[in-house]
Amino acid sequence: MPVLLPQLSDDELLATIDRLNTAYRAGTPEVDDDVYDHVYLQALRERHPDHPLLWNVEPEPVGAFGAPHRHVSAMLSTEKAYTSDEVGAWMRRVQSAAAEINIPDADIWVRITAKLDGLAGYWDGAVLATRGDGAFGQDVTRIVSRGVQLDRAVMGPGELVIQQAYFETAIAEQYDMAHARNFMVGLVGADTVKPHHSEALAAGVCRFVPYSTLESREAGLAELPECYAQMAAELCAASEYATDGAVVEVLNVELRKAMGATSHHHRWMLALKTVGEVAQTRVESVTLQVGRTGRITPVLEVAAVELSGATIRRCTAHTARHIERLGLGAGALITLVRSGSVIPKLVSVDERSTAPVDLGTCPCCGAGTVWDNDYLVCPNVEGCSAQASARLEHFFLRLGVKGFGPKLCEQLSQAGALDPIAILEMSVADMGRCGVSAGIAENLLSAIAQRKQEIVRDTDAIAAVGVRHLGRGDSRKILEQHRWQDLAGLDATAIAAIPGFGEHTARMIAPHLPAVCDTLSALVGLGFNIEATVRPSDIAGSNISGKKIVFTGTMPLGRAQMEQQARALGATVQSSVSAATDILVVGDKAGSKKAKAEQLGVQILPLDEYRSLIAGPTGTAPV
């Protein structure tokens, strides 16, 4: 943990920033990005606003992996503004440059877009390169063939990003990754595609987004002070991808030319960043939360403090080991940082607590705890109701059945309803006996009925069961070799024979597979549609392998599902019909795409004909 900043001399501050930067580039960050930006760089900005470190193109957080590639035009960084004073100063520079070429204030227009928080790059029609030092980037075109989505027709600068919703549900927790950008950095720099990469790539959620295609708002420059915060907030809220502020740029071409660029940034462009606020507060108590696997997470309950417009009363302490090492507990004085709408983070412990926290027993069931590296665990798997409740919540979340929140799951588990399959079979009256009101029970039953109308991927169903050491990547590897119906018959030797499995993991997983198989069979018995993972042998025999396909109109199972299935069967899914398109699949209410396909002579298939095409005779659709 870093010491308090005001105590650092300038040299120490610079040395610290240098060390944090090195660790960041090496892929082993010591502090969170927000803490780096809003605490350390902000301190430097306050002390030495002109320090060169603030004005270089920031180093890329990736090692050397691709061939150097010269950009067609230099990719600059963006000047950043944290306060309305800084925005005002930039506006005055724009206005005086405009005055010199006789553009009146009222004719200066700006465009605002969300600032995507990924990895900057440039697509020149043949090569996709990272920004690098601005003049030379690294050639990362290989990630396009690996499955990163890119529109070849739109050239120019943009950002490599992963869909935030996917990142949060499928990556963050399972792979213990805090930031979507770290995922992208890992994907770009990886020599071989890791399981969590291939899942995200198969889901089509990793993209190169050209800045020119971003949703934008336009405004007169003079209106900027009143409207930029609101516009930026709306654009960021509407973004599918993680954002860290907004970008404002002058639209007048002549004015852009007149203003030009420094070696660091275009003078006609400004990044609007929210300032991270830092505050000191006292810890009042520590709450220990028990998770599904028995892991105990400490949460600091703090004296209420205002940070970036919100009242903060709690903050995670990450691991129980932190409690011990840092002397966290009632009375400890701590510093927190918060930027934008991000959750507050612990920066430093400024005074240790003198009241030790009892880490020896589970706060829920009273069982003696054990350490698993830095984590504290309650080993009472069967008897700890906090774990049972968290397991239920996890099950319904992963299965995709809505409505089973923490309170309800606690209520059910305390009433003795521990088996999720039995819960899925409950009537309104059964739920009533567990204390669930009729109105809520009816909503739950209709959410269950709704989910039965949709497709549940077998990997999601297995994730719902929640076997330790069996993440979605691993279950996918198994399911590419064996059908889920056959899992019960696999022993450790059979698992270890699957590429990517060690003997140790195989031994941990194998004993749980019969239960996994039983649960999936029970789900099918209840009417859930479990979709099998496509096996390589399926793709080899696919009728649509290598075909370019466009889907249009509404589809009963949802278009995203259809597209994913087509990709899994080796097809390329396009968003619009062109002469290169092989097949247009039409659902209900097909619109202009159908007319265009007719015009271009592209094969048009109604849904039922498409389904029989992928189902056979050589094709084998996973149904």
Residues annotated catalytic, as ranges? 115
Q: Does 426 bind Zn ion (CB under 5 A)?
A: no
The secondary structure element, H or E, covering residue 62 is: none
Q: What tokens were used for 142?
A: 């290989």
Stretch touching Zn ion by CB under 5 A, among 197-205, 206-214, 384-392, 533-541: 384-392
Smallest separation (angstroms) from Zn ion to the CB of 406: 16
Q: Does 320 bind Zn ion (CB under 5 A)?
A: no
Of 388 and 571, nearer to Zn ion (C-beta) is 388
Smallest separation (angstroms) from Zn ion to the CB of 388: 10
Stretch touching Zn ion by CB under 5 A, among 19-27, 318-326, 375-383, 542-550: 375-383
Smallest separation (angstroms) from Zn ion to the CB of 478: 31
Q: Does 369 bind Zn ion (CB under 5 A)?
A: no
Q: What tokens were used for 451?
A: 């989910």
Smallest separation (angstroms) from Zn ion to the CB of 390: 11
The secondary structure element, H or E, covering residue 534 is: none
Tell me how far apart the alpha carbons of residues 440 and 445 are, in angstroms, rounded to a whole number.
9
Q: Does 388 bind Zn ion (CB under 5 A)?
A: no
Of 384 and 585, nearer to Zn ion (C-beta) is 384
- Residues 6+ positions from 130 with CB-CB distance below 8 Å: 60, 62, 66, 119, 120, 121, 137, 138, 140, 160, 188
Tell me how far apart the alpha carbons of residues 536 and 533 are, in angstroms, rounded to a whole number.
10
Q: Which of 348, 353, 380, 533 binds Zn ion (CB under 5 A)?
A: 380
Q: Does 390 bind Zn ion (CB under 5 A)?
A: no
Smallest separation (angstroms) from Zn ion to the CB of 382: 10
Of 384 and 569, nearer to Zn ion (C-beta) is 384
- Which residues share a beta bridge with 287? 299
Of 378 and 455, nearer to Zn ion (C-beta) is 378
Tell me how far apart the alpha carbons of residues 239 and 260 are, in angstroms, rounded to a whole number.
29
Q: What tokens were used for 326?
A: 């840092």
Say if strands 80-81 and 269-272 run parallel, antiparallel, or are unpaired.
Answer: parallel
Q: Which of 365, 418, 434, 510 binds Zn ion (CB under 5 A)?
A: 365
Tell me how far apart the alpha carbons of residues 294 and 59 are, in angstroms, rounded to a whole number.
40
Q: Does 440 bind Zn ion (CB under 5 A)?
A: no
Q: What is the DSSP letter of 332?
A: -
Of 342 and 365, nearer to Zn ion (C-beta) is 365
Tell me how far apart the alpha carbons of residues 477 and 2 are, in angstroms, rounded to a whole number.
41
Tell me how far apart the alpha carbons of residues 136 and 74 are, in angstroms, rounded to a whole number.
8
Q: What tokens were used for 30?
A: 């010591």
Q: Does 413 bind Zn ion (CB under 5 A)?
A: no
| Residue type for position 516 | V
Strand (E) positions, 459-606?
529-531, 548-552, 572-574, 583-586, 603-606
Tell me how far apart the alpha carbons of residues 43 and 49 are, in angstroms, rounded to a whole number.
9
Which string of x and - marks every residue 344-363 that binds Zn ion (by CB under 5 A)? Answer: ------------------x-
Smallest separation (angstroms) from Zn ion to the CB of 362: 3
Of 365 and 440, nearer to Zn ion (C-beta) is 365
Smallest separation (angstroms) from Zn ion to the CB of 296: 8
Q: Which of 270, 271, 296, 384 binds Zn ion (CB under 5 A)?
A: 384
- Which residues share a beta bridge with 209? 159
Q: Does 376 bind Zn ion (CB under 5 A)?
A: no
Q: What tokens were used for 393?
A: 């919540």
Q: Which of 110, 378, 577, 604 binds Zn ion (CB under 5 A)?
A: 378
DSSP 439-473: HHHHHHHHHHHHHHTSEEEHHHHHHHH--TT--HH
How many positions of this chain bind Zn ion (CB under 5 A)? 7
Q: Which of 364, 448, 520, 604 binds Zn ion (CB under 5 A)?
A: 364
- Residues 6+ positions from 441 with CB-CB distance below 8 Å: 426, 428, 431, 432
Of 336 and 364, nearer to Zn ion (C-beta) is 364
Stretch touching Zn ion by CB under 5 A, among 251-259, 383-391, 431-439, 506-514: 383-391
Smallest separation (angstroms) from Zn ion to the CB of 353: 24
Stretch touching Zn ion by CB under 5 A, among 42-50, 196-204, 349-357, 371-379: 371-379
Smallest separation (angstroms) from Zn ion to the CB of 387: 6
Instruction: Give the C-alpha distances (Å, rounded to integers) separating 38 from 207, 340, 502, 567.
Output: 28, 11, 42, 41
Single out the residue of 562, 459, 579, 609 nearest to residue 571, CA to CA: 562
Contacts with Zn ion by CB under 5 A lie at 362, 364-365, 367, 378, 380, 384
